[in-house]
Structure 1
């Protein structure tokens, strides 16, 4: 199973780190840079450096996509408050200094709940 991913970031270092982590994860494939196309199932959104219309976020979540917020400034709890309670299980959170093992742990935490409920893929 291959899962298409998109990185939403204007920060070169964050983009490069996430790109290498995605390439090191056998079941992920990175979609080309650019706008949301609808092919993606997982988004990595650099919340500190990339502005996205929240209606797009709600739309992709309603379609079953997962979103991982990356931030060094905003606490997890504040990001969760921005979205409705029923979609919290489709949201993950990572700090910018994340290691690959923590990257995999956070992905596993979100994926496990969604695969069990058959919300994704």
Structure 2
């Protein structure tokens, strides 16, 4: 059951669920898995070869990603194939990389069309 809270702008936000999503993303291997799945559906054995990590280790991380809905799987024969669950799952890495790229500059981050010439702090 989702628990929504008001965010002060008149919107109901599922903060508890969002924190679970961000917690799932807070591991480098899970981000590598998502990035690998951006190229297409993969079975665990292929991910093992691609990422150089043991199968049980990757399976544990895939279970975390499945639990929060970032990846889905299907069984074909004796193999389980994983794929991103929707376009948004793949955009997470791109948005994060873009954010880090803006921080590499002078530390000031501006949204499109936003004027950050005045210091606020």
Query: Which is bigger in relative contact order (C-alpha 8 A, separation at least 6)?
Result: 1
Larger Rg: 2
- Which has more strand, going by share of residues? 1
| TM-score class normalised by the smaller sequence | under 0.3
Q: TM-score, normalised by structure 1?
A: 0.26
Larger helix percent: 2
